[in-house]
Structure 1
Amino acid sequence: MISKSTLLHLRIPFSFFLMPVFLFALGISINPSGYRIVLTFIVLHLFIYPASNAYNSYFDKDEESIGGLKHPPAVERDLYATSLVFDGAGILLALCISRQFAVMVFIYGLISKAYSHPSIRIKKYPWLSWLIAGFFQGLFTFWMCYMALNHRGFDVILQADIFIPAVLTTLILMGFYPLTQIYQHKEDKKRGDLTLSCLLGIRGTFVFSAAVFLIALPGFLVYFKWYFGWQLFYLFLLSIIPVLAFFSRWFLKAINNPAKADYSHTMRLSMISSLSLSTFFILLYFVK
């Protein structure tokens, strides 16, 4: 029987904030079957991401807010085993699509464990964790989804029409990554984790993220204009306006009052970003 604490630490609703990566891969896919769409979604969002969340929570044992949980309950002993069961179930389900997909899911799980496990703990290295999180949650996951959805092998990953959106996905996640750490400075320092946001400070985190967004967003606009035309160019521009507006307002608030660099604003930005981008990528699938 899974304890209530463990169910909360799986943070399944929080996993849906990563849904735009899956939907972007789906949006540019050509005639994926309903079976592969549903199963790929289930593998990642109901098993692999929650397994990663639970594993991270088990070793962090946070007492203050974490992604998706404002007041995390104390960690129970069954959390570790549950994270491994969810991981194993995700890999077995991935085999129903292809061996390549299962291998990539397995690798993703290994990296997520190395991120948190005390003997490796990539999380405590600011630039390395930024690069690894951006690569594996972005480009690697995009490849993984596209291959699964379209029943393709590794030969497809360096094709320009797949490689470019995968790189753009990594860039946008590299912009968001420090912002997801901005309210955890006290907790991270207490554990000895020097995250990128801790290193940069509150003002530096916003400036750094803004700089990465200034690289990523024009890249997205050029990509959509080049591959899909002006209609998708303007639709993407429209979809990103709520994200930029909230980010800008939050930036100004936090500069004047560092206490505003908090959990609530971070989760609101994550939700607005996920909803805006998910809506656009669903439209992309139908109108491309």
Structure 2
Amino acid sequence: MLRSVLLHLRIPFSLFLLPVYLFALSQAPQPNAAKAWWVFWLIHLLLYPASNAYNSYYDKDEGSIGLLETPPPVSRELLYTAWALDIAAVALALWLGLGGTFVAYLIIYGTISKAYSHPAIRLKKYPILSWLVVGFFQGAFTYLATVEAVSEVPLAELFRAKYLVPALICTSNLWAVYPLTQIYQHDEDARRGDLTFSRLAGIQGTFLNAAVFFSLSFGGFLYYFLTYGSASSLIPLLLCMGPVLGYFGYWWVLTTRDARQANFRHTMRMNLLAGLGLNFFFGILCLDFF
């Protein structure tokens, strides 16, 4: 039972979202080291795993999902664990004095993740709405909440272009990648009656969507670093993300010849490359902090 619960938390999968945190940390003005570490633990070891567990409980996937090629059966304990992690994240944030804005972020994110999966609402069954919601809350919303928490930037200040542009870059990246994570689940989603964004767009539409939003992300990086940062940051960006784009193009070509190539293994390789590439890049930007 414990093993099943731990597997469904999918903590390693949560680390695919680490680039949003690292980007925020690298661009936050004078981040507080203690707060930065606590924000990392609360988001990636409590908030995201709680969301994963809640999603697994209500989806009851039998096919592969998020690093689990053969997910174990779910139990009621998984639901209790999801709630316990959410409550622990909020309680710790209050106790540590991370600020009302960050506490509100944890509550709002947790609520949205439940609405995404719960059968009474199930945002997941609305393909475009769920795509917009996931990209915004895991991207821009998390970026801005992290900057505010680690640097105590006034809330009104977050609406300046200096913070909104990188926040939107994070969302654009997720709007590109998120449908790719659904591309191998079309049959499973069809059996449950879920019309995901990837199912709606089809395999080739999913790749085209990713190409469009990857392009917008790189355009955003170009504008942001030339305007607010250093042009030299674009060099490690190209070096870290070159292999990701190369594999993306290779995989796209494969699927045009054989739709069966839009499978779990290729999806996980793409996720791994994208996660490593972005983590290395933003890790380089965070060197001064560490």
With the shorter chain as reference, the TM-score category is: over 0.9
Residue 183 of structure 1: aligned partner = 184
2:163 counterpart letter in structure 1:
I
**Which deviates the most, 194-203 or 47-56?**
194-203
Q: Contact 1:9–1:54 at 8 Å: present in 2 too? A: yes
C-alpha distance in 1, partners of 2:5/2:275? Answer: 25
Counterparts of 1:164 and 1:204 in 2: how far apart (Å)? 26
Is the aligned partner of 1:228 residue 2:232? no
Quick check: 48-57 or 198-207, which moved more? 198-207
Deviation by residue 1:37-96 (Cα, 9 ceiling, x = unmatched): 110010000000000000000000000000121110000220000000001111112222
Where structure 1 has 5 or more consecutive residues not aligned to the other structure, the ranges are none
1:162 matches 2:166: no
1:84 is aligned to 2:83: yes
How is 1:1-288 mapped onto 2 (pairs within 5 angstroms)?
3-95=2-94, 96=96, 97-286=98-287
SS of residue in 1 equivalent to 2:75? coil
Give per-residue Cα distances to partners, 1:151-205, cap 9 Å, x unaligned: 2342222022111100111111101111010000011111110001101111111
**Is the contact made by 1:47 and 1:87 (CA closer than 8 Å) also made in structure 2?**
yes
Unaligned 5+ residue runs, structure 2? none
Inter-partner Cα distance in structure 1 for 2:54 and 2:60: 10
In the TM superposition, what is the alpha-carbon distance from 1:236 to its structure 2 partner?
1.4
Q: Deviation per CA, 1:73-128, whole angstroms, max 9, x where unpaired?
A: 00022000000000111111222211210111100000000000001000011111
Deviation of 1:225 (Å): 2.1
Percent identity, please.
47
Number of residue equivalences: 287
Query: Which stretches of structure 1, 4 residues or more, deviate above 2 A after TM superposition?
Result: 285-288
Deviation digits for residues 244-288 of structure 1, max 9, x if unmatched? 011011111111111110111111111111111111112112369
Alpha-carbon shift at residue 18 of structure 1 (Å): 0.3
The Cα of 1:214 is off from its aligned counterpart by 1.8
> Shift of the alpha carbon at 1:33?
2.1
Q: Which moved more, 1:274-283 or 1:213-222?
A: 213-222
Across the aligned residues of Structure 1 and Structure 2, the Cα RMSD in angstroms comes to: 1.3
* SS at 1:183 equivalent: coil
Structure 1 contact 100–153 (Cα < 8 Å) conserved: no
Alignment partners' CA distance in 2, 1:50 and 1:244? 28
Q: Name the CA distance, whole Å, in 1 between partners of 2:157 and 2:16.
A: 26
Taking structure 1 as the reference length, what is the TM-score of the superposition? 0.96
CA distance in 1 between counterparts of 2:67 and 2:86 reads 19
Instruction: Please tell me whether the aligned partners of residues 236 and 280 of structure 1 are also in contact (alpha carbons under 8 angstroms).
Output: yes
Q: Which moved more, 1:116-125 or 1:218-227?
A: 218-227
Q: Contact 2:166/2:220 (CA < 8 Å) preserved in 1?
A: no
Do the aligned residues in 1 keep the contact of 2:35 with 2:149 (CA within 8 Å)? yes
Q: Which AA in structure 2 matches 1:14?
A: F
